[in-house]
Structure 1
């Protein structure tokens, strides 16, 4: 082994605008966040990195009535239900949320409906409105009162599933509210906040200690269910007016059948009156034609609300005692819920609690706004596995916030390979929140030991995994397990390890892109083309395949193996695509064109996002796992020596140039990003393999070879590097100790090489065929 004369430098002209998606993360799933209220509901759509309020399309309001109307067996929801309630009051229902979890159906115009179906109808309508914003959310976060028991929480989750959501989680309303914006407050780490939520039908309260963690610590929580919401004030105002209403009905007996309509009119007038008293000492509200106005003043409002507010304060004081605190320990009181806006509430609380009051910026939307902020941090709610060192090993997890959870769904199938940090399962914790279980290290799923909706505990063995081999486990003479004849110009293994794509040149102007099963080599599909394919790349979810085609026009195409005759999109290029790779976020495809053009195209549309020129011939490309660094290798047009441009998309000043004695043929970052392998050489001349430590850009493995080296790859954990020379030799080294571990032969001059996603097999494509070698005994299976 000998060192090569490489030195760091700054690449010129490599100012690429960085893509906007978070580095190294999968694209975020669209989420619908819903505050399903007793009288009104509100919703926020999280998609495309933005939070968008889902407005009622009929009225343009920020909230929807939590109401339903039975129109001949079809449920109308929200404003549509409100508009029809006068036609048939028996077919109309609101305030059914407190009954969620009850086994007793409700009657709408004589038809029985489970309450969970009514809630699902509301959620379904909210999802339909969200689709009008251009996204179809598959995940639902729905808030629940702190007083909700397990049966009510389960019914809420069932309603979400009935509405068609794949992932459903619940979040206590006070915890959600703690994340919202409040007037005059910026909570600091360690602050204790009393969340005071006076809604239409219930009162909820919680003591929450703010922390730097995603989830604040709930010190105590409680609430008052029936007859402890703002609608009790409405009922009292209606009761004050009832003698006048009954006198009017007595004088108009022919209209006695309008009793239901009159009740609805009085209820609405009471709400209007209560709101008007927020701005005036006395107020009036219209009820119905022929009736006097409903009227009241603030003194009457204080008298009505005193028992209600007394009960809420007693509940708050009980929570303070339960948490072993005093009122002096409370940093502030966060006021949320429509009822908290009544003018008598703040003075009452200031007098009886004596702590600073912080009204929510929007009392009605505080819960859904805070919940949307909490949902946006889903990526942080992830626990890596507790991984023992066995080759075939059980995976266990230590669960947060309690020692048990319920499996929501598996995100991997038996046989799937996965990378370090991949999410393997989504579970529901004891508090109803969704939480991801991730892999600490790469591996392949051997067997799953848990079914959907099944409960498990911290430390339970719920999945068996096969980890990548360590260098000592690699056989010196691998056994060839598959081979077939073909003139291979490119190959690529899918990230999940299930498929192998091979580009085969049939004649001078004809080629075929073939996808086969990675285990059996059974053909899955083929795509004939005119021209030549030099590069292949799978999308991060293994669902689509990109290939660069050189023919009369230079282009890149995206192929769906399930429908190979259909091109998803085509992107025209200024030169032949020599190398392709999708960025970790999955949103962009990086393309190195031979003439020195580097492009990022949108993976969904094929449209060019950015383009820049590299002052060298570009023959190779690799993307760092951070998604912000690219390595582009080729040869210097003037000297003919090799050059690797390491391009930092965030900061051009951090870019550098690595120089080599001969042209670069292939480059590859390790999956953990800690190393970069470069191979190259002149045809018939001396070749080289160099592996760099990317933290210091020093060479940690250097090897020369005659003739030149053509292809390189690293194992999933970065422990092994494999390189192929033009004399058909293939070598596998241990990166750490620089020792050769295995030797194999290609079917002629090699063009591409890949270590499979689980690390147990080596695939080599050459001018005369494909050969698959088992690096370990597990690779023979």
Structure 2
């Protein structure tokens, strides 16, 4: 794990930066459109997709209501951000920005990148919900391991301008960025290498004090100096003279400029113009003592000097100094013990800020090589120091050795990922697993300095763990087979070798080297849809490989693919849930065959088996069934009285019955909302995955038994399918004739069962073993049976495996 490439992302209010740590070196990643290290933290909705960074900035003047910048300050707010005819939560916009950064970094690196460090303000404490939103945004962008690091702590690792700090010195990090102010008190430690390390003694922050706030003060000053002419220009009216208001509209733009909506749009455009003008003024006053410029948009001359800017910003700068002094007091340190005050963030380029700091901390100011890139560079350097973020296993004496670990910060966490499995040999310094601590940080679980072999894992990925939990058993003389897990008696269940995997063919997707963010197998086994970066591609699956059929320059959120292999898929374009429609796309041609109007965000959808109807569930838990030929609403039900767990809901092929998880059980109801009785003799308390059977009114789900899948029908019969080698299944597939069912676990194991004939009503029939198994070299993304149920297709993020049954 220590050698994985890591993205270090400084998500800033006005601009962001990204560094890539790979192969032992750090390099910055330029924004491809702007050819700059600084990525504008801005988005724009163009009616079909979300543009990020410089392309969004380019559309700002023409479509101001579809533009949004500085959305970092909206993180955690419940109200969505409106962009034209679409709306997003702030964390969705963060995901779009991170996705663009990850895509460009992968293009440069040539391989997938799934681990990242995101920096955040020091005010995002352990209990702050914005920490979870940032982590979730990174995971939604395809990053499986996301760590958080306070911005001033990251800055402490940035390359210094001048000589390095001597060990044992106290340094105050002063980080004045675009949206927040952060401070950290650090102490340099003994230098084990050229970079050295730091100890963080404390940090503090001001959420409402940044370069953006200075821009606002400066814009207000410019309006005062511009007088009535500039004030009038900012509030366009229907009869305002275009000549007095700046550039004269012409053609189609002039036609659009009439009416209250156009006036509001024009007013927003002018406010954005003023903000940009004030921002440029601020930067120029960092190098010029006095400026006189012509505000072209308003047709007015405006002037300002550096002394007046210092007066305007004095209250903000005074607050930052007070924040630093409070931090020193909390840490029990005085300013005279500081070796330096390290200046980070673009706002520290302002002479007014440096003058105030020189007065507060005389003779202590130090700089970094680049104040605006310091946080990203420092986060990358921090990501390369794994010396302080792991636990070593505790090992008692004995042949069969249980391993446990101590966790910091309360001693609890969530197990994110295993890097070893039963039967694996491991070296003395192996990383066994990755854990997320209660404060949001990542923590490694390592071997105890001795090599060995894994016999058994006792917790699944996603489970909560505590210090001292028995998580792994190692040290058996004979390796435990995959059939002897979780305390089962040797010989009582079939071993791995008893069931040899059938032959399979691996077909690369694209160039076979690029990892795709989403791989969807269309039922019937003939077509594949992939998503990567900013594109969606449809493929035809042939015996000799994958043939590209179509490509669209935007990523869709696929909420359903079905119709018994009739090549239809519900593919809402990005933001569809807020754009109030759901599109039906032909998987063969990529063409939109129709749309249904829809209110709210679409959580899930399903086709009827004959392809004539479409059921859609909204985020308000309202279920509607539409006729595809005309879009009429046939049935509507309010399911909000059910406390659904997540977004999971499945419907039977006739769209008559629905099943969805509620807490640790599954509720079954008629599509009109009337709840039905639960299947008899069946306890379903692991509803992480539900699947509707393709031809009967029945469903399948993860069982209360970790190594099993439950299948039940509304007429009362039920099956419990076991496989002792299977960890909790997270993917399910069933053949069109309902003869075979397949399940995949997070470790890449796929098991296939033959479904027995229906048992008598009110009886659960046990199936003790699977018919066939296969172990894939990486996690399986999707499963589907071929049309004739003689093949099973499994998709990883690089290959399609066709398994001959």
What TM bracket, shorter-length normalisation?
Answer: 0.5 to 0.7
What is the aligned partner in structure 1 of residue 148 from structure 2? 170
Q: Which residue of 1 aligns with 2:114?
A: 138
Deviation (angstroms), 1:139: 0.7
Deviation at 1:189, TM superposition (A): 2.1
Q: Which residue of 1 aligns with 2:188?
A: 210
Cα distance in 2 between the residues matched to 1:370 and 1:118: 24
Aligned-pair distance for 1:129? 0.9
| Counterpart position of 1:232 | 213
Trace 1:639-678 onto structure 2 (pairs within 5 A): none
Task: Give the match for residue 345 of structure 2.
Answer: 337
Q: Partners of 1:87 and 1:217 in 2: how far apart?
A: 49
The whole-number CA distance in structure 1 between the counterparts of 2:207 and 2:92 is 22
Q: TM-score, normalised by structure 1?
A: 0.55
CA contact 2:455–2:476 (8 Å) conserved in 1:
no
2:160 is the alignment partner of 1:160: no
User: What is the TM-score normalised by the length of structure 2?
Assistant: 0.54
* Correspondence list, 1:53-202, <5 A: 53-133=28-108, 134-149=110-125, 150-202=128-180
- Find the counterpart in structure 2 of residue 488 from structure 1: none
Say whether the 8 Å CA contact 1:202–1:224 is kept in structure 2: yes
The alpha-carbon deviation at position 277 of structure 1 amounts to 1.1
Please give the alpha-carbon distance, in whole angstroms, between the structure 2 residues aligned to 1:249 and 1:522.
Answer: 76
Mind listing any 5+ residue stretches in structure 1 that lack a counterpart?
A: 1-25, 475-492, 500-516, 528-564, 567-781
CA distances 1:442-494 after superposition (whole Å, capped 9, x unpaired): 34444434344444333233x1313145xxxx9xxxxxxxxxxxxxxxxxx9x
Give the number of the structure with larger relative contact order, counting CA–CA contacts within 8 Å between residues 6 or more apart: 1
Match of 1:458 in 2: 467
Conserved 8 A contact 2:10-2:375:
yes
Q: Deviations over 1:356-408 (max 9, x none)?
A: 10122100000001111111223764322011113333311123465333322
CA distance change for structure 1 residues 403 and 284 in 2, over 3 Å: closer, same or farther? farther
Q: Is the 8 A contact 2:47 2:85 kept in 1?
A: no
Quick one: which of 302, 312, 315 aligns to 1:304? 312
- How far the C-alpha of 1:211 sits from its partner, in A, is 2.0
Contact 1:443–1:465 (CA under 8 A) maintained in structure 2: no
Structure with bigger strand share is 1
1:250 & 1:206 partners in 2: Cα distance?
Answer: 43
Determine helix, strand or coil for the equivalent of 1:129: helix
1:246 partnered with 2:231: yes
3-state secondary structure, aligned to 1:132: helix
Note the C-alpha offset of 1:422: 1.3
SS of residue matched to 1:265:
helix
Q: Residues 218 and 286 (structure 1 numbering): CA distance in 2 closer, same or farther, change over 3 Å?
A: farther
Range with greater deviation from structure 2 (192-201 or 178-187):
178-187
Q: Which deviates more from structure 2 when the two are superposed, residues 244-253 or residues 376-385? A: 244-253
Deviation, 1:162, is: 0.3
> Aligned to 1:189, what secondary structure does the other structure show?
coil
Secondary structure at the aligned position of 2:351 is classed as coil
Deviation at 1:219, TM superposition (A): 1.3
Q: Which residue of 1 aligns with 2:358?
A: 350
1:602 counterpart residue number: none
Deviation at 1:525, TM superposition (A): 7.9
In structure 2, distance between residues paired with 1:464 and 1:112: 46
Secondary structure in structure 1 of the residue aligned to 2:182: strand
Cα distance change, pair 526–264 in 1 and its aligned pair in 2 (3 A): closer
Question: Out of 318, 329, 350, which is 2:326 matched to?
Answer: 318
Partner of 1:7: none
1:277 is the counterpart of 2:285: yes
Higher mean C-alpha deviation, range 324-333 or range 98-107? 98-107
The residue that corresponds to 2:698 in the other structure is: none
Aligned 1:561-710 pairs, distance under 5 A: none
Taking the aligned partners of 2:201 and 2:388, their CA distance within structure 1 comes to 22
1:47 matched residue in structure 2:
22
> What is the Cα-based RMSD across aligned positions, in Å?
2.9
Distance 1:184 1:430 in 2: 38
Cα offset, 1:261, TM superposition: 1.6
Q: Distance in 2 between matches of 1:185 and 1:455?
A: 45
Q: Give the Cα–Cα distance (whole angstroms) in 1 for the partners of residues 366 and 462 of structure 2.
A: 40
Deviations 1:307-348, CA, capped at 9 Å, x for gaps: 001100110000000001111121111100111111111111
Change (3 A) 1:145 1:27: closer
Residue 171 of structure 1: how far off its partner (Å): 0.8
Give the CA deviation at 1:497: 8.5
Query: Structure 1 residue 42: deviation in Å?
Result: 0.4
SS in structure 2 at match of 1:103: coil
Q: Distance in 2 between matches of 1:127 and 1:292?
A: 43
Aligned to 2:567: none
Kept in 1: contact 2:404–2:472 (CA 8 A): no
Asked if the contact 1:142–1:169 (Cα under 8 Å) also holds between the matched residues in 2, the reply is yes
Distance 1:236 1:296 in 2: 13
Distance 1:65 1:40 in 2: 4
Q: Could you tell me whether the CA contact under 8 Å between 1:185 and 1:358 is conserved in 2?
A: no
CA drift at 1:253? 4.5
In the TM superposition, what whole-angstrom CA distance separates every residue of 1:626-677 from its partner, at most 9, and x where no partner exists?
A: xxxxxxxxxxxxxxxxxxxxxxxxxxxxxxxxxxxxxxxxxxxxxxxxxxxx
CA change 1:355–1:426 in 2 (3 A) is farther
In the alignment, the residues of structure 2 paired with residue 497 and residue 331 of structure 1 have an alpha-carbon distance, to the nearest angstrom, of 59
